[in-house]
Structures are given as structure tokens and as C-alpha cells.
Structure 1
Amino acid sequence: MTNEELQKLIEKISSDVFGKPFLHASRFNSRLRTTGGRYMLSCHSIEINPLVLNIHGIDEMIGVIKHELCHYHLHIEGKGYRHRDEDFRELLKQTSSPRFCKPLSDESPKRIIYHLYRCLSCKLEYRRRRRMDVRKYRCGKCAGIIEEMQTVK
């Protein structure tokens, strides 16, 4: 699907579902990573992640377009267009628009790596996501010397 076809699709959905015209630009944006689309407040344009179409198909993309059009029309009308606003939630229900996009990656969440430290005096263990310089810190319980034990996945 090209940007021109996307523009026509958004204009058609806007007039059919909302009964209002979409008068601004739309395009695909492959740099979007975690979201299916976004509405740009400054220029009133809508950007859609092409992965939505590639992974989930046209029906999911239409849902994302309807979601972004809810932001668009409410913002243009001066009503509450944010996710937490009652106007936005009500328009989502009226238009059967999804509140969230389906996940765009098949990867499971990355496992967190912990660094394990232990006090030499009281044997209290510390797990940290980031490494720490053991020369700068002492044990919070007994003020003993801390040593790095291992990295835990």
C-alpha cells in the first residue's frame, strides 16, 4: 500500500465512520517502533506504522486509523483528545475503535541481567541492574566492604 492509497483510505474512513472530512496529510512512518500510529498535534497529520499492515493485516490497520482519527477530530473540535479524557473514551466506544494496538514484535521481552554483589561482613546480597563501583559504596546495613559476585541472567 502506498502513501496515496493510505491517504484515500483515511479520508474514506473519516467520512464513513465519523461523518467528517479528513483535511490533512497522512503517511507511513517505518521509524515508529512501539506504536501502531500517531496523530501529530502541530500539523494535524497522521502517521501509520507499516508493520501493522504487514504483521496484523488490513483490519488491524483500520482500527489504528480509527483510533488516530478520534484524536484528530476531537483535537480539531477543541474537545478532550488525550487517552485519559472522557470525550476520547466515549468516541472510541461510539466508533468501535481499539484503545491499544496489538504488539508489533514477535519477540518475548528481553530478560533482565542483574549484577550480584555481597557484603563481606554480614553477607547481605544486592541485586542491581546497573554495575556499580564497589570502591565507592559500603553496605547499608553494617558499612562493610562490598564485592561483586557474578552476573545473573
Structure 2
Amino acid sequence: MSDEKLYELVCRVSNEIFGKDFLHKAYFNRRLRTTGGRYMLRSHHIEINPLVFEKYGLEELVGVIKHELCHYHLHIEGKGYQHRDADFRELLKATNSPRFCSTLIEGKGRKATKRYTYKCAKCSLLYNRKILLNTKKYRCGKCYGDLILVSSENLK
């Protein structure tokens, strides 16, 4: 799909779903890595990750466009356009727009998180932690017994 076709699609979605014109530019940006698209506050342009269309097809692409158009129209109108704003969340629901896009990269650049399990030597209470603790420095919060590393496992 070309940038021109993307622009036409964005204009059509804006008119059909929001009932408003899209007056700025929309184009693909291959440098986007983890996000499906982004709305540019200063220029009001919309950039879309081409991987969305390549991996998931037209339906997912339209979802990302609707999400970015929510940012666009709310910002233009001077309403709350950020993810945390009530205006934004209401417009997402009203237009049936996704809050997040599907995963675009698998494993690339992402660390596998480790999970450490510690056990108290006195009362046998278990502690699950994401970081490796210094067992000489930390003790059980219940009985102040010594902590012992029981297991460490990689999670994806």
C-alpha cells in the first residue's frame, strides 16, 4: 500500500467514523518499531507503521488509523487527547477503536524477564522477586529469618 492510498483511507475513515474531515498528511514510517502509529502534535500529521498492514492486514490498519484519529480530532478541538484523558477513552469506545495495537516485534530487542523465588529458612514463607536480592542484606519480613534462593527461571 502506498502513502497516497493510506492518505485516502485515513480521509475516508475520518469522514465515515468521525463525520469530520482530515486536513493534514498521513504516511507510512518504517522507523517506527514498537508502535502501530503516532499522531504528531505540532504538525498534526499521522504516521503509521507499515508492519501493521503487512503482518495483520487491513482490519488492524483501520483500527490503528481510528486510534490515531481519536488523538487528532480531540487535539484539534482542544479536548483531552492523551491516553489517560476521559475524553480520549470515551471517543475510543464511541468509535470502537482499539486502545493498543497487536504486537509488531517478537523477542527482538526485548529481554526475557527473570523471576527469582526466595524461601525463609525459619518459617518457609516464599518471596517472588524480579531482581536478584543480596541474601546477606535482606531478611524475612515475617520472622526475620535468613532468605535462601530456591529457584530462578526465565519468563517470556
* TM-score for the superposition, normalised by structure 1: 0.72
Identity of aligned residues (%): 45
Q: What is the CA distance between 1:91 and its match in structure 2?
A: 7.5
Aligned to 1:5: 5
Matched residues in 1 for 2:77 and 2:120: separation? Answer: 61
Structure 1 unaligned runs (5+)? none
Tell me: CA distance 1:17–1:122, structure 2 relative to 1, closer, same or farther (3 Å).
closer
1:131 maps onto 2:132 in alignment: yes
Amino acid at match of 1:99: P
1:54 maps onto 2:54 in alignment: yes
Tell me: CA distance 1:32–1:42, structure 2 relative to 1, closer, same or farther (3 Å).
farther
Structure 2 unaligned runs (5+)? none
Query: What is the correspondence of 1:93-132 to structure 2 with a 5 Å cutoff?
Result: 93=94, 96-101=95-100, 103-105=102-104, 113-132=114-133
After TM superposition, the structure 1 stretch with the greater mean CA deviation from structure 2, 66-75 or 131-140, is: 66-75
SS at match of 1:132: coil
Query: What is the correspondence of 1:24-43 to structure 2 with a 5 Å cutoff?
Result: 24-30=24-30, 31-33=32-34, 35-43=35-43
After TM superposition, the structure 1 stretch with the greater mean CA deviation from structure 2, 76-85 or 130-139, is: 76-85
Q: What is the CA distance between 1:115 and its match in structure 2?
A: 1.2
Measured against aligned partners, the alpha-carbon deviations of 1:43-74 in whole angstroms (never above 9, x if no partner) come to 21212122221122123312321332232122
Question: Max radius of gyration: which structure?
Answer: 1
Q: What is the CA distance between 1:76 and its match in structure 2?
A: 1.0
Measured against aligned partners, the alpha-carbon deviations of 1:68-119 in whole angstroms (never above 9, x if no partner) come to 22321222122343454347635863xx442335523596xx9864212222
Matched residues in 1 for 2:63 and 2:9: separation? Answer: 12
* TM-score for the superposition, normalised by structure 2: 0.71
Matched residues in 2 for 1:143 and 1:25: separation? Answer: 62
After the TM superposition, which parts of structure 1 deviate over 6 Å for at least 4 consecutive aligned residues? none
Count matched residues.
Answer: 149
